[in-house]
Every structure is written in C-alpha cells, then in structure tokens.
Structure 1
Amino acid sequence: MSTTLTAPDPVYGYPPSFESSLSTFNPSKVNNGPSTDNLIRTISRTPSPTPSEYNLLHGIKEEKTLKEKIKSYGFTAVVIAIAILFAIYTKDIVKALKPETNWLHDHPAGALIPIAILIIISFPPVFGILLGEVANFFTFKYACSVRAKKFEAKNMEYGLLAHVVRNGSFWVILIIRYSTVPSHFATAVFATVGVKFWIFFAAAVLSLPTQFVPAYVGYCLQPSVKNDETSKTVENVVLGVAVASTIGAHILIQRKMKVATPDFIYARRKARQANDQVPLNHLSEA
C-alpha cells in the first residue's frame, strides 16, 4: 500500500497584481533621481594636498619672490638699526625725556596719560598691556571673526596656529603667550577660534612677567638709580630668565605645531572635498 504525500495549501495566496487605485506606491517614481553614473561622481576621493600644503607637511620652505625678500630684509635691517641706536644712546634718550617725566610726575593726572597712550598703542598690543589685550580680544571676537575665518583658510601659518589652539588646552595658550609668537597675532587667533574670555584672561595675567622685563630695564636706566654691580647682576638675571623662558616656549609650540600638521592638512583636504560634493538626496518623495 503506497502513501501519497501532498503539499498543503499555501497560507498566503499569490501576490496581487499592481493596481494603482489600491496603492499609493508608484514604481515609476523610483527612477526619478539621478542616474547611477551621476551618483558615482558625487562620491569623490579626498583631494590631494596643494603645493603649499605639501611644503608645510614636509617642512619645505617656499621660495620667496624678490619683492618679498626686499620687504623682509628691509624690515629686519630697520629693526636691527633701531635696536642698536637705542642701545647706544639709551642714557641720552632718558636724559632728554627727563623734563617730560618730571611734568608727568608732578601733574595730578599725569599717570593717566602714559596709561592711555599704552592702551592706544596696544591696538595691536605692542607692549602687551593687559587692558589693551582685553580690548583687542573683544575687538577681534566681535568685529573680525568672519574676516579671520577667511584669512585662516588662506594663510597656512595662521591656520595651523588656529588649529593648534582650537584643539589644545589652557597650557597651549599659556605657552603661546610665552613664546616668540607676537602677542597681537596670538590674541587675534585666541579671539576668533572660540577661546573663552576667562581662559584668555588667565593666560594673559600669568604671562605678565614677560612684560615686567622692559619695565625693570627702564627702571634701571633712570639717572637716579645707582649703576652698581648688584643692579647689573639682577638685570642680567632677569633678562636671562626671560630669554630662556621665551626660547623654551617657542620650542614647545613649534613641536606641537609640527605634530598637528598632518591632521591640519587632512582637515583642509576634507573641507575641500565637502565643498565639492553634491548631497546624495536622489530619491524624490512620492
């Protein structure tokens, strides 16, 4: 006796044919987006480094034009000449300004005049006066942020320093304050990359000892101060400590910038890639 096995009837019937009156889905709209070739073009690879980025990444110094060399060497020569003349005729300069100094000392509001002058010349803060630094910080923060972003994208050195500050800590900001980076340049970077004011202010206060050096040297150059061996020793020690701390801070910040260079270059390349790509929203809504 043979047994015949029969398959059970399917639980679900055959799928119904498409009926537009019974469905809101229209298969014809699936192909309304860009073609596959267009989608492939939107997924581009990361752009290669530009010549300037390549040079920065490999530590290659770009050759300056003749005009740039003349400006650079001319400015350096003028600064050196002024420094030499000031060193030679320091006593004569102090004596020549003695009447004005006495007038400021005797005048009731005399002390406010040099303070006002220092605040004015602290735009940018040539002498690093604290009030000038604060005013300079807020000026760049609220009036120059857009321009600074454009300059950051254009200037490699500024952009790299901004990248280091943006991804660094309070100690990075303090090191920059002690380094050879010009204070007005550093303040502009701090203000435009989003550094909080209290962090900037704390770093500015802690870096004030670097501003005491010229003040102390000016005090020692007064005719009323005795030019004895003790004063010379203290002056030399103060100058030595200031120079050593500045050089040390410069070395540290240069190392941090060198370490951060690959990430900085890669971020610039990805930014160019993002600007060149088209969004992949290729499916239109029904």
Structure 2
Amino acid sequence: MSNYSVDRLYDPPAYPPSTETFVPPKPPSNGPRRSRTPSPTRSEIDALNTKGIFSIKASMNGKSKKDKIIIYAIMAVLAIITILFAIFHKQIIDWLQPTADKIHNMKLGWLIPVAILFVMSFPPLVGHEIVMILVGVVWGLGPGFAIAAAGTLLGEIGNFFLFKYMCHARGEKYERTKIDYACLARIVREGGLKVAVIARYSVIPPHFTTSVFATCGMKFWVFLVSAILSLPRHFATVYIGVSIEDESNGSSSKKEKLINFLVLGVTIVVSIFALRYINNLSDGVKQEVIYERRKARQARDGLSAPPYDRPDSLEAGQNYTVNVPLRTQAPADNYRYGRGDGRGY
C-alpha cells in the first residue's frame, strides 16, 4: 500500500457535535404538514348530535357530580315555585293587593313598580311576572301595561350597558368556551335586527339575550328597537292580572275568559315558533363554530402546520410565551454518529 497524502478540502465535522456549536436542522418550508385539525371533543360531539341551541345533557359535560347536584336542585326549586304560583296565584295576589292599593293611591306611586322591575334586573331575579300581574290587578290593562313596559325597558337598557362595558371580557370567554353561547352570538351578528326581535319573542330568557346582544357587538339602536318591538309579549302577563281582578269582583264574563285564553295561547305559540326558528339558525352555524374551535386548538397546540406557522397568524399586540432552552441539548454519548475519524460508516 503506497504512502501518499492529499490535502483536505474541508475539515470534517466533529462527532458528536459540540453543545456550543450544534444547531438543530430546520425542516423545509414546503415540507408536509406536521399537525392536523384536532378531533372534536366530547362536548363538541354531543353538541353536533343535539338539535337546538340549548341542551341540558350537553351543558352537564365536564361538570363535577357536586355541580350537577346543585344545578338539578336549583332547577327543581324553580319548577316547584312555578307550580306553586300556578296553583296559588290568586292567594298570592290577594295577599299583596292591600300594599299595592296603598301604592296606587300615592302620588307618583306608579314609579314604585317601575323601580322594582328595574332593580330586579340586576342581577336578573325571578318575580317579574308577579309584579306585572299585580300591576294589572291594581292599575288595569292600559296603565298597567305602560308601567310594565317602562320598568322592563329600563331594566333591559341598564343590563345592556352593564354587560357591554363591565362584562365584555366574560362574554368573550363564554363565546370561546360555550358552544350554545357562541352559536347564538354568531346568528345575532349575521341576522341583525330580525334575529334579535325573534330571539326576544322566544322562550329564551330576555336577560340572557340582552347579555349576548351586548357582548357580541350589537349597536345600541338595534338592541333598543328589538326591545321595544318585543314589549307586547308582556301584554299577556298584565292581562292575567286584569282577569284576576275582574274574577274577584264577579264582573268576569265568558268573553273575557275566552280572550284571556286566546292571548295566552297566541303568546305560547309565538314563543315556540320563535325558538324553533332560532334553533334552526343555530344548527346551521353549529358545524362552522365547532370547526373554528378545532382550528383554534390547532393554532394553539400545533403552530408548525401552515397556515398557523406564519408570524402573521398570531394576533398583533398580544404577548406570547415560548419555552426555549437556554442551552442546546446534545445527543447522548452512546449515540454513534460515525466511525470517530470524521467519516461515516
């Protein structure tokens, strides 16, 4: 074997690489995706399999046994209160009527039920219907409806500004975490005044729709018009008080009872159809809302996949924390990169 040497054209890299000079290779920018859209969660699957905007079963997912017991207990108490009021409403009104008559005889006494309805809106409390029925008993149909409408409208306006300026961040959090809230906010944004009015005529609690309207960016004039147009739904409640007063005085007629049932029937039918319309709209956007939730998880957990690997995919003005080791990590000593002389196997 002849002895001869040639000059090296380059210095071979050191194996294993130094911890000070080692730079991990970067993947090609046009390489394959390294992450995919995450699968739907259990709550998202339940929401997709559930028709409508509200589902007790879906809302219970992820809650502890203690929280479920508390929620079911509250629902049971509210159901019992509703049943008791339906059975003993006449006795309740008779018990409250002397105080209401004193208020009626006071100068500007009508401002008191207006103030009561306003105060009961912060936070939303049960009992609005009792106040409206009592107003119908004492003030009659016309003035009673005006009092109920004024108190309700002022309370809704106060709620709107409260949620708009003091609970906006919480509303955004609900929209990110609660599917039903996100669906309702989406259809309200896209539907405008028409959807706002129909939602307020449905069986969805008015204070809940007000919170959604305020936090989803609805303009105040749109909210105000929808609130005014939905005031006739309280007509039936006031009319119940009028019919109770006429029945106690013995002046109730079959015609008046028929009108009472018709008003209640029309109110119930309109509420049911309005809820079905809102449910259909919600089902139409539910898949899109859930898909956006999945893409948001991908952006949070798998930024290496396009289009989330671009810098502009991050939100401007936000602080992001990335865990970067202060020292590069070298491979283990027992990992063989080559033969040790600068050449591979």
User: Is TM more than 0.5 here?
Assistant: yes
Q: 2:26 and 2:105 mapped to 1: Cα distance?
A: 85
Corresponding residue for 1:83?
Answer: 82
Q: 1:48 aligns with which of 36, 39, 56?
A: 39
1:16-65 deviation digits (Å, cap 9, x = unpaired): xxxxxxxxxxxxxxxx9972258858864322222211221233944766
Q: 1:195 aligned to 2:244?
A: no
Q: 2:189 aligns with which of 148, 166, 174?
A: 166
TM-score for both structures, normalised by structure 2? 0.65
Corresponding residue for 2:280?
Answer: 255
Q: 2:33 and 2:167 mapped to 1: Cα distance?
A: 35
RMSD: 2.7
Of Structure 1 and Structure 2, the greater helix share is in 1
1:161-216 deviation digits (Å, cap 9, x = unpaired): 22222222321111111111111111111100111111111111111111111111
CA contact (8 A) 1:124 1:184 kept: no
Compared CA separation, residues 204 and 43, structure 1 to 2 (3 A): farther
Corresponding residue for 2:290?
Answer: 265
Q: 2:215 and 2:50 mapped to 1: Cα distance?
A: 26
Q: 2:163 and 2:236 mapped to 1: Cα distance?
A: 27
Corresponding residue for 1:139?
Answer: 162
Q: 2:284 and 2:236 mapped to 1: Cα distance?
A: 32
Following TM superposition, the consecutive aligned residue runs of length 4 or more in structure 1 with deviations greater than 3 angstroms are: 37-44, 60-73, 124-128, 278-281
Runs (5+) with no aligned partner, structure 2: 1-22, 52-56, 129-148, 312-345
Q: 1:280 aligned to 2:303?
A: no
CA contact (8 A) 2:37 2:295 kept: yes
Q: 1:243 aligned to 2:271?
A: no
Corresponding residue for 1:12?
Answer: none
After TM superposition, give the deviation of residue 219 of structure 1 in Å: 1.8
1:59-106 deviation digits (Å, cap 9, x = unpaired): 394476654553344333323322232233222222222321221111
Compared CA separation, residues 94 and 38, structure 1 to 2 (3 A): same
Runs (5+) with no aligned partner, structure 1: 1-31, 282-286
Q: 1:52 and 1:124 mapped to 2: Cα distance?
A: 28
Query: Identity of aligned pairs, percent?
Result: 42
Q: Counterpart of 1:97 in 2: which secondary structure?
A: helix
TM-score for both structures, normalised by structure 1? 0.78
Corresponding residue for 1:26?
Answer: none
What pairs with 1:1-286 in structure 2 (closer than 5 Å)? 35-36=26-27, 40=31, 44-59=35-50, 61-62=57-58, 66-125=65-124, 127=128, 129-222=152-245, 223-224=248-249, 226-276=251-301, 277=303, 279-280=309-310
Q: 2:25 and 2:263 mapped to 1: Cα distance?
A: 71
CA contact (8 A) 2:203 2:271 kept: yes
